[in-house]
Amino acid sequence: MAATRVITAASATTSCFLAKRAFVLPAKRSCGGGALCFSRRAFVLKSKRPFSCSAIYNPQVKVKEEGQPETLDYRVFFLDGSGKKVSPWHDIPLTLGDGVYNFIVEIPKESKAKMEVATDEDFTPIKQDTKKGKLRYYPYNINWNYGLLPQTWEDPSQANAEVEGAFGDNDPVDVVEIGETQRKIGEVLKIKPLAALAMIDEGELDWKIVAISLDDPKAHLVNDVDDVEKHFPGTLTAIRDWFRDYKIPDGKPANRFGLGDKPANKEYALKIIHETNESWAKLVKRSVDAGDLSLF
């Protein structure tokens, strides 16, 4: 039996691109807590004409569950105010302005079913990942809310010279949300990014943006990587170690991390978000080959 619940995503712009801003070249400097930071010697990205897409404006987003959880047929679809299916990846806007972003929960904290947006299915619903026809689970619970930034894409044809020349993993950018509340699958949260980890998974670059929901009691205390170390001590190391080691129980090698095995600061995280948003825009404009990816 299908169930429908309402999730409200905050007011949003219909622009698919982030506002133009200056981002930094990676000049390393010392940063507290062992984090990797970057100086403010900036270059300005070339201005591009904004790409107008079908992002939802001020959406009252509903999620509709089809099938039973933990079955191959289970899907979580997103509906707009009129009841039409929309894509959480393509139709929910990335940025709300003033440094606030939308984050879509795929895996609630303290759970281990490996849920993900089905990027190759129409309307890209959330489903449980499979391998050889069997549902996938992490070997142990993930300790943070996990999901994606809409309207981002890690381009598998682009090598990142700053991260060992690794190519993108062909997915939206992942978010690790460190707030205290266990969220629900399909929930849309307003977050602020705090740091970035450059995970390399079987040779592919798989960014992890560390963020906090604006409604978390500690949100006002944290604005950058150093604040995470201060108010959530040990969390950045725990995130890195969790994602490094979770495949080992299945007999696979540990994942690796670029950027000196350290978290990058907020400014660098925003640079990654901007770049992957631009890659997504090229994808939906069909400027690059989409392969099996669904564009609606």
Q: Report DSSP letters for 134-178, one per residue.
A: EE-EEEEEESSEEEE-TT----TT-EETTTTTEEE-SSPPEEEE-
Catalytic, out of 57, 138, 246, 268? 138
d(CA 231, CA 227): 6
> Closest by alpha carbon to 14, among 97, 82, 119, 131?
97
Pick the residue with more confidence: 59 or 166? 166
Query: pLDDT tens digit string along 153-163?
Result: 999 999 999 99
Residue 80 has pLDDT above 90, yes or no: yes
Residue 104 lies in a domain: yes
Averaged pLDDT of the chain: 86
Domain CATH number, residue 210:
3.90.80.10
**pLDDT score of 3:** 64
- For the chain, the domain total comes to 1
Residue 219 has pLDDT above 70, yes or no: yes
Residue 16 lies in a domain: no
Residue 50 lies in a domain: no
Residue 67 lies in a domain: yes
**pLDDT score of 283:** 98
Domain coverage including residue 84: 62-285
Has 138 been annotated as catalytic?
Answer: yes
**pLDDT score of 22:** 33
Residue 213: CA count within 13 A, CB half-sphere = 22
Residue 55 lies in a domain: no
Q: What is the CA radius of gyration of the chain?
A: 18
**What share of the chain in percent tops pLDDT 70?**
80
Residue 285 has pLDDT above 50, yes or no: yes
**pLDDT score of 296:** 87
For residue 219, give both structure tokens.
């949100």
**pLDDT score of 45:** 31
Residue 157 lies in a domain: yes
Residue 210 has pLDDT above 80, yes or no: yes
Residue 19 lies in a domain: no
**pLDDT score of 69:** 97
CB 173 within 8 A of CB 148: yes
> Closest by alpha carbon to 242, among 141, 113, 148?
141
The arithmetic mean of pLDDT across residues 228-240, rounded, is: 98
Residue 5 lies in a domain: no
Lowest mean pLDDT among 27-31, 108-112, 228-232: 27-31
pTM for this model (two decimals): 0.84
3-state secondary structure of 266: helix
CB 70 within 8 A of CB 52: no
The arithmetic mean of pLDDT across residues 109-125, rounded, is: 98
**pLDDT score of 207:** 98
**pLDDT score of 5:** 60
The confidence band for 168, taking pLDDT boundaries of 50, 70 and 90, is very high
> Closest by alpha carbon to 236, among 203, 194, 269?
194
CB 146 within 8 A of CB 139: no
